Structure formats: C-alpha cells, structure tokens
Amino acid sequence: MLKSLILPLIVSSLISAIGSLDLSLSGKIGYRAVCYYLATTICAVILGIIVVTIVHPGRGDSESIARAGISRNVTTVDTLMDLFRNMFPPNLVQACIQQYRTLLLAPLKGTGDIHTWTMSHEYVSGTNILGLVVFSTALGISLGKMGSSAEPLITFFQGMSGAMMTITNWVIWFSPVGVFFLVSSKILEMESFSVVIGQLGMYFMTVLFGLSLHGFIVLPIMFLIVTRKSPFRYLTNMGQALATAFGTASSSATLPVAISCLEDKNHIDSRVARFVMPIGATINMDGTALYEAVAAIFIAQVRGISLSLGSLVAVSITATAASIGAAGIPQAGLVTMVMVLDTVGLPAEDVTLIIAVDWLLDRFRTTINVMGDSLGAGIVNHLSKGEL
Ligand code: ASP
C-alpha cells in the first residue's frame, strides 16, 4: 500500500513545494539540505572506518564464511555513470516503471579484462525515482518562474499531494500489523540464526555499533546544537516512520509515513518536508554509507589485505558515492558495494561473503537513513524559519 503511494506523492509534493516557494528561497533550502546531506554522510563514513579499524572484525579466514548467491559484472565507472543516465530519463512514462542499466557483454573467446568488454544496456523493472525527482524539481522551478499563469497547475499538484497524505494517514493505521508480519516472515525464512550470527557476528556487531553511534549520538548532537530542541522528543515523534523503515527496509516506501510524522507531530513546514524528504530518501543515506565502508574494509580484512591511508580515503569517497547512488529499496546498498570493493582491488564476487546477514543489517541501516533525513528536515526547517 505504501509503495503505491510513492510515485504520486514524490512527483506532486516536489512540484508543489518547489513551485510555491520563491526561487531564491527554494535554492537556499535546497543548498542547506545538500550541505547537511554531504556533511552527515561523510561523518558516517569516517565513523564507520574508525570503528571497523579499531574493532577489526575480519580475521583472515574467508573459507569458513559461507558464500551464497551470484553477482553482476559491473565496473565502478558504469555504476556511477548509470546514476547520471538515470537522472535524465528519455521517457517519463517509462521512468515510472523502468530503470537504465549498463550491461557488459563478455567476448566470445575467453573473458579477459572486464574494461574491454562490449558495452550494452538494458532496462530493468523498478521506478527510476532519481529521474522523476530531477524532472519534478525542474518542473517546480519553471512553475515558480511563470507567476500567476502557473497557479492552476500548482493548485492541482498541491491537491494531489494533500490527497496522497490523506491516504497515507489511513494506511498508517495498518503499519503496526504490517511491520509485525514483514519482520516475522523474514525471521521464519532464516535457516539458523546462530549459524548466521556465529560466522559474521563480529562484523554484524561492528556495523550495528557504528550505526548506533551515528544515529543516537552524532546526529542528535548536531540537531541539538543547531535547533536547541530536544532531539529525543523529535525522534520519538518519528517512531512510526522509523518502525516502518525497519519493517520495509526501504526509505522510499517509508517516505509517506515520514512526511506525515514530520508535518503532524513535529510541525515541520509542509513546503520543507515535502521538498527535502523525497530528495533525502533518494540521495541521503548515512546508514548505507557507514555500512559500505565497514563492509568493504571487513572483506579486505578477511582476505588479509591491509589498506594504506590512500586506500582508506578512496574507500570513503566511493562509499559516499555508493550511498548516493543506492536506491531507497531493500538491499540496494549491497549492489553498489561492488564500487567500493573495486577501489580496494577486491573482486565483485566478494559481496557474497556478507550476504547472509545483509537482510537484517539492511533494516537497521534503513532506519538510520530515515532518521538522518528526518533530523535534516528539522534542521533545514529551523534554519529557514525566518524566510518561510
Ligand atoms: N534499503 C536501504 C534504503 O532503502 C538502502 C540500502 O540498501 O542500504 O534506505
């Protein structure tokens, strides 16, 4: 039910929020949000690197860890470029249902270097949210510039986004039941908890520790310093959204609930909430960034590779890019992990080392992602209060 609301909600909220703000103000709000996103993502990555280096969960025994699944043949450049290609979809209707993906075709004789393979592409199913965000932002800006002749269209999108929020409020009534079943079905699917946790226990605890530090200490302190309001009361008000994030493992699916909690319980200006949240849910993923850094370094440790300071810097840059590139859907971070592994010279197949616990870590990192977006909306709202 929540997923069905994402598409109409993102498009209408972005267009109406940006269209009804004057251009310089929406520029300022956008700028503040992006600064916050970058600063917190970089903090998360650095924290992840520090924690994984101190705890050192990988003990150089890759054979004892069960491997599962297969991975795709991709290069870092393609993963990054696909992000840009998806920003400008050639067809908006198609963007609602499909995404662009580069496909590398192995030569007939042997495999050789992946960089020499023939490039092709495919469209895979899944909403191209980034493309729709970019287009809606452009449409909002153009409506804002047009003056009174744009009013009917802005009113239309305002009505649409209001209606989506009303439906969201109905759906929220089901969320406790939904979250309960989503989580219990996953637990029933799991083969053996002790085996999973036994092999990857230290790694699991390291990610969890890093996420808790970031979500319960770093971000709340930042919020407290800027707004001088209690971050804990603010986060308690976001409880429903955080539980939905944990249950669905998707920032996008949580978006309707998150906007509703921000507006109704935390009294965030709806123009700010509806403007910054759809963008935050697609590009701001602190939890994912932290996890990408920890996972890549953990795999290097398991493989017995020691990383130089230069490689650590490269890991932090690619982990940041990988978190921006990850879609707000379950386990998207695992896919963009390949980029980070590539920078430390590890093969893409090595993501299979951590697949066993990824579904569970995904829920925790998604919760931190949504927490980061929500606190960011509070901070941007506070900074923009006078102008609003
Ligand atoms: N599931 C995460 C999210 O929706 C993305 C990830 O896989 O890290 O925020």
- Alpha helices in the chain, H assignment, sequence order: 2-20, 23-55, 76-87, 92-95, 129-146, 151-172, 175-189, 193-213, 219-227, 231-237, 239-248, 251-264, 270-283, 286-302, 309-325, 332-343, 355-384
How far apart are the C-alpha atoms of 298 and 315, rounded to whole Å?
A: 12
Percent of the chain at pLDDT above 90? 49
Residue 172, ligand 1, Cβ within 6 A: no
Q: Distance, CA 109 to ligand 1 centroid (Å)? A: 38
**Ligand 1 atom closest to Cα of residue 335:** 7
Q: Letter for the amino acid at 197? A: I
Please state the rounded mean pLDDT for residues 212-221. Answer: 96
Q: Which residue out of 338, 365, 368, 371 has the highest number of ligand 1 atoms within 8 Å of its CB and is therefore the one to mutate? A: 365
* Atom number of ligand 1 nearest to Cα 329: 4
* Top mutation candidate among 251, 279, 286, 358 for ligand 1, by most atoms within 8 Å of CB: 251
For position 62, what pLDDT does the model report? 56
Q: What's residue 229's pLDDT?
A: 93
- The gap between the terminal CA atoms of the chain, to the nearest Å, is 33
Integer Cα distance of 126 and 123 in angstroms: 9
pLDDT over 90 at 348, yes or no: no
> What is the 210 CA–ligand 1 centroid distance (Å)?
16
Q: Is 333 in the pocket of ligand 1 (CB under 6 A)?
A: yes
| Alpha carbon of 289 to ligand 1 centroid (Å) | 10
User: At CB < 8 A and 24+ separation, what contacts does 141-149 make?
Assistant: 141/18, 141/19, 141/23, 141/26, 143/15, 143/18, 143/19, 144/18, 144/19, 144/20, 144/21, 144/22, 144/23, 144/26, 145/23
pLDDT at position 70: 46
Query: And the tokens for 43?
Result: 């903090």
CB 4 within 8 A of CB 168: no
Q: How many Å lie between the centroid of ligand 1 and the Cα of residue 332?
A: 5
Average pLDDT score over residue span 297-309: 87
Pairwise pLDDT comparison (45 vs 333), residue with the higher score:
45
For residue 115, the model assigns a pLDDT of 77
Read off the pLDDT of residues 59-95 as tens digits, 9 standing for 90 and up: 766 555 555 544 556 677 777 788 889 999 999 999 9
Q: Is the pLDDT of residue 376 over 90?
A: yes
**Higher model confidence: residue 198 or residue 286?**
286
**pLDDT value at residue 255:** 93
How far is ligand 1, taken at its centre, from the CA of residue 282, in Å? 9
What is the tens place of the pLDDT at every residue in 116-157? Answer: 888 888 998 888 888 998 999 999 999 988 989 999 999 999
Residue 114 has pLDDT above 80, yes or no: no
Query: How high is the pLDDT of residue 193?
Result: 67
The answer, yes or no, to whether residue 287 has pLDDT greater than 90, is yes
* pLDDT score of 234: 96
Q: Is the pLDDT of residue 367 over 60?
A: yes
The average pLDDT across 241-265 equals: 94
What average pLDDT score do residues 339-359 get? 82
pTM for the structure as a whole: 0.86
- Tokens coding 57: 């969960």
Domain 2-72+147-383 has CATH 1.10.3860.10: yes
Taking 90 as the threshold, does the pLDDT of residue 358 lie above it? no
61-70, 232-241, 318-327: lowest mean pLDDT where? 61-70
Instruction: Give the pLDDT confidence score for residue 285 in this predicted structure.
Output: 94
331 in contact with ligand 1, CB cutoff 6 A? yes
Q: Residues 149-185: pLDDT tens digits?
A: 999 999 999 999 999 989 988 888 888 888 888 888 8
The yes-or-no verdict on residue 1 having pLDDT over 90 is no
